[in-house]
Structure 1
Amino acid sequence: MNQRRIKRMKKMFVTLAVAVTATVVLGVTPFLRAAELADIIKDVKANGFVSTAYNYNFNDPDSRRINFRPFNENDDSFNLDVAELVFQKDAAKEGDIGFRTDIMYGYTIPKAIRSSWPGVAPSADDDVDIQQAYVRYVAPVGNGLALDLGKFITEMGAEVIEGYDAWNYNYSRSLLFYYTIPFTHTGLRGTYKFNDKVSLIGQIVNGWDNVADNNNGKTLCAHLMLTPMANTTLSLKLITGPEQTNNTDNIRDVYNINLTTNPIDKLTFNLDLVFGAEESDPNNI
């Protein structure tokens, strides 16, 4: 698949996502009355976020790159990191249907986190990304089982991809954020809240940062969230599945523990532990 065709497919994907969002937002059918249409639109929220900065490396590298920085790698340069536009409709009660679409444009973040098509290498032209696009339904199971179908941000890790509702602790990111966990998944996610102290999230997805799966296997994710006391959260996370192209025999497992506590309003402690292993391909030495 040549790069020109890939670019056309990406533009079509972005256009389709925008069109689907507009259709869901407007809910336009010949049978809707003006009052019904207004009732639908009033529940849809639109949010935006922009991040821009100037970076300078005091080592003055010839490459003009800042090593090991996923989002701020350009030395001595102003950057539009990301401009994000989010459309969403909440679904909180049993039987509710909602959605969320995050459209990103920029010169650092979209390129670093964008999901790939099988066999396609990252490109410097990847400045647009659909970070999230999913539909949510709250099934009438117990306290309410929230089901998300589409593309969504990973549960793994302590740090986040910045957006209007998610602020990272620092402008830069740690090595654990960039080198040990995925950024997004495409598939099915279920969230169930047992009570105020225990919640569970389970996922079956295409793998690590894949729009379309690169093999015939599926990846499983689990996230147990515990709140043992006020201002303290413990998260136990697991992701397991085959991630190598056209190979379902070699499994990659990553375990993640996050502990967050803020004893006072302006002081927060964060613990991020990651352990991972992957079975090797017998054709590789």
Structure 2
Amino acid sequence: MNRRKTTRVAARLRLIVGVAVIGLLCNANAWAQTTTTTTTKHHHKTVTTTTVVASTSEQQRLDALSGQVNNLQKQTDDTTSEVKKIEAAMTVAQPAASASPVTIGQHVGLAETNIAAIQKNLSDNLGISVHALVDAGYEHNFNQPNGNVNNIRVFDEDGFQLTQGNLHIERDGTVGFVTDLNFGQVANTLSTATHYSNIGTGVGNQWFDPTQYYLTYTAPIGSGISFQAGRFVTLLGAETINTYNNLNFNESKSIIFGFGIPFTHTGIRASYTFNDYVSFTGGLNNGWDDPAAANNGGPNYEGELTLNNKDKSLSLALNGIWGPNLVGKSDSNLGAVDPVATWKPSFVPNLTLQTEYLYASESGPVANGHSGTWSGLAQYLVYDWTPSFESATRGEFFDDADGARTGTSQTLWEITQTLSYKVPEVTGLLARLEYRHDNSSQNYFTNNNFVSPVTGTQHLWHGQDTLDANFIYAF
């Protein structure tokens, strides 16, 4: 119960009762009064005398109303007393050092104190910080697909779902580490991603995925070279796997994120910031989505060059990766370039424009016995109407010319509208409502039609529409 809300309710109740009492008294006086007027003329002067007389019956009514007023006042006093008791019970305060918690508020206060002490101890003595998020909600696919599968989607399906649970643990300092443990649909998708494409990406039976776990070291060279060694998310893409401090603009992920680029890598990286305008990250890894076998002919090379102006209202991230990914075929290389431009125009406060372009190809027998290429373009328009309310529109095209990524030679497009609302008085709670339409040049999307017993196939549709409502709590 919110103490301030309870106090406001009590105050309003007292005000209403007071107004009612005044009204009753005024009416009672009016009922109880009878007026007699006598006019006398004497020496050209007129004298008027008014006498107020209360009849016996009106006096009785006045006494009865006074009794009712006294009863209402007693009820008001009783209500005020109960409100004060509830406020005292809900007061978030820990008990005295020698006493045990009794009220709900004391239990809550003691728990908050203990948690704060643990966090402070970890931070002060070990430099460790712990964060988490939970993303859960309901999504309705108007195709009502058999099996609740949303085609060309990652991290979401039709129906109620735990989209993501994330536990983020890190240690800052010269030597540190970062760990991201994921649960729910995010873990399902990441654990079932294939080596070369995301055709098989979907809901699996793995509800846990250690998405990131890497060591960090900052070498005292220049402004400091930051090294990472272990498993980490890819440099590519405008979107990334959610963490407590990065929830992305939209609830659902783009086609480029799900099918155009890798999710994670295992390897080493080094980052260096030259000045306020230029920084660079380069690394070596085992390839896209960590192939199980390491004998794929050599490492993959990745890099990111970031350019921005002084206030970072305009930035450009040039991302790329290249290297072998077919086991035992060092001459089959998979590569992608993925520049992302972000602009926050000064003449339109609270507006963010972001553009992503992707071009990728893989040589070798990966698509119907030959090489495959794919490309994509995504545009984001984000506006913060108030500090609590944001709208984000994403429009996107994805061309899988050879079917190397989706299993079908097709051109896809989608448009997504997301509304995000920061729930007041609850720090870290975000409510989201999202509508999305996906469309393909081919009949690609499943629905609730049964498989034909004659042909053994299901009639597919060109598009699908979904409506999604989620709550995200991050701390």
Q: Which amino acid aligns with 1:232?
A: L
Equivalent in 363, 373, 395 of residue 279 of structure 1 = 363
User: What CA distance in whole angstroms lies between the structure 2 residues aligned with 1:271 and 1:54?
Assistant: 29
1:60-79, Cα deviation, whole Å (9 max, x unpaired): 2234222111111x22x110
Structure 1 position 48 matched with structure 2 position 132: yes
* CA–CA distance in structure 1, aligned partners of residues 146 and 333 of structure 2: 39
Aligned match for 2:236, one of 156, 170, 179: 156
- Aligned ranges for residues 148-227 of structure 1 at < 5 Å? 148-210=228-290, 212=292, 213=294, 215-227=296-308
- 160-169 or 191-200, which moves further after superposition? 160-169
Supply the AA of the counterpart residue of 2:268: L
Is the contact made by 2:280 and 2:304 (CA closer than 8 Å) also made in structure 1? yes
Measured after TM superposition, the shift of residue 81 of structure 1 is 1.2
TM (norm. structure 2) is 0.48
Give how far 1:199 is off: 0.3
Deviations 1:135-189 (A, max 9, x none): 1111122221100011111110101111102111111111111111011111101
Q: Specify every segment of 5 or more residues in structure 1 that has no aligned partner in the other structure, as ranges.
A: 1-35
Q: Tell me how far apart the structure 2 counterparts of residues 37 and 60 of structure 1 sit (CA, whole Å).
A: 48
CA change 1:167–1:202 in 2 (3 A) is: same
Contact 1:115 1:209 in 2 (8 A): no
Q: Provide, for residues 87-113 of structure 1, a one-character-per-residue CA deviation record: whole Å limited to 9, x for no partner.
A: 10113xxxx11111111111x111222
Aligned letter for 2:167?
L
- Structure 1: how far apart are the matches of 2:276 and 2:354? 21
Matched ranges for 1:1-285 at <5 A: 39-41=124-126, 43-72=127-156, 74-75=157-158, 77-91=159-173, 96-106=174-184, 108-114=185-191, 124-210=204-290, 212=292, 213=294, 215-230=296-311, 231-263=313-345, 264-281=348-365, 284-285=369-370
Change (3 A) 1:228 1:167: same
Distance 1:51 1:245 in 2: 36
CA contact (8 A) 1:220 1:240 kept: yes
Rounded Cα–Cα distance in structure 2 between residues aligned with 1:62 and 1:129? 27
Using the alignment, how far apart are the partners of 1:267 and 1:245 within structure 2? Answer: 46
Q: What's the CA shift for 1:266?
A: 2.5
| 1:15-45 superposed Cα distances (whole Å, 9 cap, x missing partner) | xxxxxxxxxxxxxxxxxxxxx998532x110
TM-score computed with the length of structure 1 as normaliser: 0.78
Shift of 1:116: 6.8
Secondary structure of 1:281 counterpart: strand
Equivalent pair of 1:143/1:194 in contact (CA under 8 Å): yes
Percent identity between matched residues is: 33
The alpha-carbon distance between structure 1 residues 37 and 223, as it changes in their structure 2 partners (threshold 3 A), is closer
Structure 1 residue 114: Cα displacement: 3.4
What is the aligned residue count?
A: 241
The aligned counterpart of 2:55 is none
1:168 partner SS: coil
Q: What's the RMSD between the two structures over aligned residues? A: 2.5
| 1:151–1:51 Cα change, 3 Å | same
More helix by share: 2
